[in-house]
Structure 1
């Protein structure tokens, strides 16, 4: 199975990720969080904006629907193919966060949602964002802290082990704690930080919990029996409407000076 040279994903990986992104996009509160990120961009009609790590393209399409000249960027050509097929109203291109296909100062908006945690060098991406933004342009970064996924379980120690093992597989799992300082270091001003917490109490998030447990098991942090037992408990909680998962999402915004 062919892997993407930049992301290391196979086609199966890409389509599994699309399924998770689609799930996340439709969670209660997800639409409101996207809308808040668009509001923080403060774009006038016709302003050029990029959604970096656009995935299957929903945010770029929604920005275009709001009157922006929207671009979606992703390093996975399969992802870009899906985005272009779903949302023909935006311009989708294959590129990476540290090498954007725009001239200096070409854009007035830059958005990245659940992206910076996968980057080995988020500071480099921030510098590239500053390059492509015109003075007065806005940057908005949305993301989670991978150590602060809150899950109720009868085995708190095992749950911590699963969450932390999954975090250890992420390139920059705690980048949201650094995002404000990264923007300040790059010369951005008017830096603000907000937190919006998603809470799920039914079976909707069981696929996400299965992914957490599966990744922890694959990393050797927990046994097959531990993963299966923990996930069985979460499935039962979901069936009974007694599941509890809380995911704080941090929104860091700033202005290009």
Structure 2
């Protein structure tokens, strides 16, 4: 292969990756603007027990909305994300905010230098969520607060004319993730990581707007690509969902787990 052909191939891959990221960003933006998502973010900020002027890190910050909202509440908010394209978007949108490139397993902070830690829809993509919890414990100061939120990918509920096929699609998509059931495991992850005062809430998002159809398309296409279902099955299943959306009979329910805890204080503190 010539160097020109190789570069053309790499450029095509970069373009496709860029398009995929843009598509993901569009879905995330649509979801973030829903009232239920706004309420969930607000609840996560409340559970952080914010102290004015303290440092709070938002891990997996994506396009930076939560970082800007946290900064508006009087804290020094820092967004961390491993995706340079997402960080570029965040810096364009929120030029006054601070963002750093890093993964959840290796944060750019010294021991005990952070008062609050927030991770939203992050742990399910990690192969070892426990490593991220250990890193959170390292950077949090004694008495610091951690809040993790996210959906349980194996518990997504979709109204459908074919319940068995729907279960197959949901489970097949979940199994492609690093830790698809991390949401239901948050409590034990935090306890195993040495955190105390652990609380868990479940907020179920109910979506009847056709704007969520891309989510179902992503689920179905991933299940098909993984070989769990056929193209004909997916086409018919998606057609059914589009018919439901057109007839105002569309419904998806997603349980979002919200866990909060405190980093242990030294004895007598």
Taking structure 2 as the reference length, the TM-score comes to 0.91
Match of 2:65 in 1: 58
> What's the Cα RMSD here?
1.4
Match of 2:6 in 1: none
Matches within 5 A, 1:62-211: 62-211=69-218
Q: Is the 8 A contact 1:202 1:239 kept in 2?
A: no
User: Matches of 2:219 and 2:240 in 1, distance apart?
Assistant: 14
Which secondary structure state, in structure 2, belongs to the residue aligned with residue 243 of structure 1? coil
Q: What is the CA-CA distance between 1:27 and the residue it aligns to?
A: 2.1
Deviations 1:82-125 (A, max 9, x none): 01111123201110101100011111000000000000111010
Q: Is the 8 A contact 1:95 1:101 kept in 2?
A: yes
Deviations 1:111-158 (A, max 9, x none): 000000000111010000001000010000001111100001000011
Match of 1:212 in 2: 219
Q: Pick the structure with greater CA Rg.
A: 2
Q: What is the CA-CA distance between 1:200 and the residue it aligns to?
A: 1.0
Matches within 5 A, 1:217-228: 217-228=224-235
Match of 2:3 in 1: none
- Structure 2 gaps, min length 5: 1-9, 265-269
- Structure 1 gaps, min length 5: none
Aligned with 2:23 (options 16, 20, 28): 16
Q: How many residues align?
A: 253
Taking structure 1 as the reference length, the TM-score comes to 0.95
Q: What is the CA-CA distance between 1:252 and the residue it aligns to?
A: 0.5
User: Matches of 2:213 and 2:82 in 1, distance apart?
Assistant: 28
Match of 2:238 in 1: 231
